[in-house]
């Protein structure tokens, strides 16, 4: 570290560091009114902090040390805000604030281990009396936060993947609540599926919009969509078996007409625009194969693990 006097008589302290990407030396500086033992010590600390901050954002494959949980949250939130809907951001920001205040903003991210997260989430259930479903959302927020940390080389692995939670045995009411996705969870799942395949993404959203079973929706052909009493409906009278349309679904009561909401009709239109000679409304790609429940189930299992949403089940 060295010092220089500025034109206005203040003292500028400088330090240099080597950029690991270019191999060139760069400089940082801080300015104080006086050159005393106290200001020199403070300048040394501030300059080191500046250097570490700059090196932290250099993607050279090395693990960046000294990043605190508070710093991670402050860095992650503005980026996360651009990626999700406003209400999703607000909910995650609220949980991140609680995590910061209870887990500790000075905790070093590199020191966050699975056992720490397991104990923290257990405490939310048994000491703070949070519901299982709420703790699952906290685990999801931690997962998003630490996934960002791993991406930016603040940690080697995401510890949330190995964090076990001792959830309370659910009451009947809890089981009903925990069976269904909230809007935030649904948006995450659909985003994941659309990323894997627009066809499967639209198919999953169609299932949500209509409440149809996999086989019922997969077996739909254009002639099954009719107008009835001034509304567009899907005539459900078959299912998909071994990639073929077969009559008679699970029960006689399954034969029914399902009114299609606007979004469901938009999805059908989008699929028909990309039809590849298949007889079905929904196909799995450019070759026009029928939807495959094995493929869908594999992706749902992956989504369950990656998104940490335990409610996800196979179709």
pLDDT for res 242: 73
Instruction: State the residue for tokens 């989008």.
Output: 270
The pair of structure tokens assigned to 138 is: 């906290």
- 55-69, 139-153, 188-202, 222-236: range with lowest mean pLDDT: 55-69
Q: How far apart are the first and last CA of the chain?
A: 64
Q: Would you give the DSSP letter of residue 283?
A: B
Q: Report the DSSP beta bridge partners of residue 30.
A: 13
pLDDT in tens, 122-137: 999 998 888 888 899 9
pLDDT for res 173: 45
At 148, the pLDDT band (50, 70, 90 cuts) reads: very high
- What span, in angstroms and rounded, lies between the C-alpha atoms of 95 and 227? 46
pLDDT for res 97: 94
Q: Are 117 and 145 in contact (CB under 8 A)?
A: no
153: enclosing H helix or E strand: none
pTM greater than 0.75 (yes/no): no
> 255 or 29: which carries more pLDDT confidence?
29
Q: Report the DSSP beta bridge partners of residue 17.
A: 26
Q: What is the mean pLDDT of the chain?
A: 84
User: Residue 298: is its pLDDT beyond 80?
Assistant: yes
Residues ≥6 apart with Cβ < 8 Å to 76: 96, 144, 145, 148, 149
pLDDT in tens, 189-214: 899 999 999 999 999 999 989 989 89
> 153 or 275: which carries more pLDDT confidence?
153
Q: Are 137 and 95 in contact (CB under 8 A)?
A: yes
Q: Report the DSSP beta bridge partners of residue 2.
A: 14
- What span, in angstroms and rounded, lies between the C-alpha atoms of 251 and 255? 8
Q: Give the angle 120-122-123 at the CA atoms, nearest 5°.
A: 65
At 309, the pLDDT band (50, 70, 90 cuts) reads: confident
At 17, the pLDDT band (50, 70, 90 cuts) reads: confident
> 57 or 104: which carries more pLDDT confidence?
104
Set out the domains of the chain in order of their start, with CATH numbers: 2-56 (no CATH), 69-168 (1.10.150.130), 183-307 (1.10.443.10)
Percentage, residues of the chain above pLDDT 90: 40
33: enclosing H helix or E strand: none
pLDDT for res 114: 94
Q: Mean pLDDT over residues 61-86, rounded?
A: 85
């Amino acid at each position: 570290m060295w010092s220089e006097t500025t034109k206005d008589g203040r003292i500028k302290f400088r330090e240099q560091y080597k950029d690991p990407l270019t191999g060139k030396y760069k400089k940082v500086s801080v300015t104080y009114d006086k050159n005393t033992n106290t200001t020199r010590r403070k300048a040394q600390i501030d300059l080191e902090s500046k250097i570490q901050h700059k090196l932290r954002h250099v993607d050279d494959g090395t693990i960046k040390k000294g990043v605190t949980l508070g710093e991670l949250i402050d860095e992650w939130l503005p980026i996360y805000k651009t990626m999700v809907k406003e209400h999703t951001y607000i909910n995650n920001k609220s949980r991140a604030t609680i995590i910061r205040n209870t887990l500790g903003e000075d905790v070093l991210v590199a020191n966050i281990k699975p056992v720490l997260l397991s104990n923290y989430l257990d405490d939310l259930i048994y000491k703070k009396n949070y519901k299982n479903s709420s703790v699952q959302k906290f685990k999801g927020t931690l997962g998003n936060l630490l996934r960002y940390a791993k991406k930016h080389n603040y940690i080697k692995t995401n510890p949330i993947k190995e964090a076990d939670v001792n959830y309370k045995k659910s009451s009947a009411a809890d089981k009903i609540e925990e069976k269904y996705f909230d809007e935030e969870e649904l948006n995450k799942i659909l985003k994941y599926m659309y990323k894997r395949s627009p066809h499967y993404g639209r198919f999953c959203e169609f299932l949500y919009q209509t409440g149809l079973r996999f086989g019922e929706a997969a077996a739909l052909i254009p002639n099954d969509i009719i107008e009835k009493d001034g509304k567009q409906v899907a005539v459900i009278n078959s299912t998909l078996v071994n990639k073929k349309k077969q009559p008679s679904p699970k029960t006689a009561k399954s034969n029914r007409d399902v009114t299609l909401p606007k979004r469901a009709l938009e999805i059908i239109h989008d699929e028909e625009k990309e039809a590849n000679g298949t007889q079905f409304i929904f196909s799995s790609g450019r070759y026009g194969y029928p939807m495959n429940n094995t493929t869908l189930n594999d992706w749902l299992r992956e989504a369950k693990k990656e998104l940490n949403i335990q409610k996800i089940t196979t179709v």
